[in-house]
Amino acid sequence: MHKTIKKAIAGISALAMTAAMSATTIPAFASEYEAIDAQEYVNSFENPETREVAQFYLDNGISGDELKDMMSTYEEGLALLNSEQTDESGIALTSANSSTTVSLGNGGNYYNGTRMANSKHYAVITNDRPKAHVVGNFIVSTSNAVSYDIATHPYTLQSGYENLGFSTSKNQQQLIIAGTLESDSESVEAIVTFPFTAGIATSEAKLRSGFTLSSNFNSMNGVDGSYSMNTYALGDLDHNGIVDSADYTLASRFLVSLINKVTFNYKDVGPGVASAIFILAFDVNMDGQIDLSDAVGINKIINA
């Protein structure tokens, strides 16, 4: 895995160095030495793509033990991606040694029927035909499979949909979202997300069954709207009910541009919706951007 790491500073004993330096120079030297050590660690990876990922981490402020921990997770995930190409997650990596296309789903179900991820869960309503210009409403209902506070209806409206209004039914059992929906996007996009927790549900599939969406919209431009509701867990990029090193490696390779394209092939969810949810699940810190901090967040979920 690694080349033999050679120290950049040799032939000087620790005792001689300590005697030669003042108290004020020790911290500066220590910082410089740590930087050299971290760079040597990066250079020790024989696989050029793995080395590129490690360099990306280092260049973006990751150093020391954190760098080694992240690379350990990355290599574990890379092994999963390369060895479990036909497993339940449906991950397929077309090449282990060059820029790749990653395929998720493998024609299977979008929701895992036996596992439930340990990270925060969200429901999302997506605009599956953004070119439609419509006026109407959604009605969201829940069962005891999930726990969602409809009375206070916490939610996050996504960019472009801030004009929608929210209310609850008289019996506090339904959330009503009303207004105008219009977008110039060419792809599926999220309209609103809802944080929730599990009720009696014991799997991702049962969590999804806890939400029901009905809609009533009139078209203003001759294009009928199409909308769907799905659920996801932060960090679960391959949507298999567990946040693990495979998710972390997918995130890392995506950030370093070692993944050219992610394709989605599920029985029950279209590629446009799956792609939009992939980005939502990736944005672990929910700041609207996909960056290294999200990969770090996935690693923390794995090690929690």
Residue 275 lies in a domain: no
Q: Are 244 and 81 in contact (CB under 8 A)?
A: no
Q: Are 188 and 273 in contact (CB under 8 A)?
A: yes
Of 142, 146, 214, 136, give the one whose Cα is nearest residue 171. Answer: 142
- Are residues 216 and 189 located together in one domain of the fold? yes
The parent domain of residue 184 ranges over 121-233
Q: Are 206 and 119 in contact (CB under 8 A)?
A: no
- Rounded to an integer, the average pLDDT of 166-194 is 94
Q: What is the pLDDT of residues 264-275, one digit of tens each?
A: 999 999 999 999
Pairing of strands 211-219, 259-266: unpaired
* pLDDT given for residue 287 in this prediction: 93
Q: Are 52 and 256 in contact (CB under 8 A)?
A: yes
Q: Distance (Å, rounded) from C-alpha 180 to C-alpha 191?
A: 12
Coil/strand/helix, residue 11:
coil
- Are residues 14 and 65 located together in one domain of the fold? no
- Rounded to an integer, the average pLDDT of 84-111 is 67
Q: Distance (Å, rounded) from C-alpha 52 to C-alpha 45?
A: 9
* pLDDT given for residue 301 in this prediction: 96
Residue 263 lies in a domain: yes
Residue 87 lies in a domain: yes
- Are residues 51 and 131 located together in one domain of the fold? no
- Are residues 63 and 160 located together in one domain of the fold? no
- Are residues 222 and 247 located together in one domain of the fold? no
- Are residues 157 and 99 located together in one domain of the fold? no
| Average pLDDT of the chain, as a whole number | 86
For residue 141, CA distances in Å to 54, 145, 214, 215, 233 come to 46, 11, 9, 12, 20
Q: Are 36 and 9 in contact (CB under 8 A)?
A: yes
If 0-12 CB within 10 Å is exposed, 13-18 middle and 19+ buried, where does residue 216 land?
exposed
Residue 274 lies in a domain: no
Coil/strand/helix, residue 165:
strand
Between 144 and 24, where is the model more confident? 144
| Residue 9 predicted with pLDDT over 80 | no
Of 233, 259, 292, which residue sits at a domain end?
233
For residue 290, CA distances in Å to 227, 241, 248, 277, 281 come to 25, 21, 13, 13, 10
Q: At what angle do helices 48-59 and 64-83 cross, to 10 degrees?
A: 140
- Are residues 101 and 204 located together in one domain of the fold? no
**Two tokens at 8?**
């950049």
- Are residues 126 and 228 located together in one domain of the fold? yes
Residue 201 lies in a domain: yes
- Are residues 72 and 133 located together in one domain of the fold? no
In the chain, at which residue ranges do the beta strands (DSSP E only) sit?
A: 92-93, 100-108, 121-127, 134-142, 146-147, 156-157, 165-168, 174-181, 189-198, 211-219, 227-233, 259-266
Q: At what angle do helices 245-255 and 48-59 cross, to 10 degrees?
A: 80
CB atoms within 10 A of CB 179: 16
If 0-12 CB within 10 Å is exposed, 13-18 middle and 19+ buried, where does residue 98 land?
exposed
* pLDDT given for residue 90 in this prediction: 56
- Are residues 142 and 290 located together in one domain of the fold? no
- Rounded to an integer, the average pLDDT of 208-234 is 96
| Residue 87 predicted with pLDDT over 80 | no
- Are residues 3 and 84 located together in one domain of the fold? no
Between 29 and 82, where is the model more confident? 82
Q: Distance (Å, rounded) from C-alpha 128 to C-alpha 112?
A: 22
> CB under 8 Å to 260, separation ≥6 — which residues?
99, 100, 101
Output the pTM of the full model: 0.85
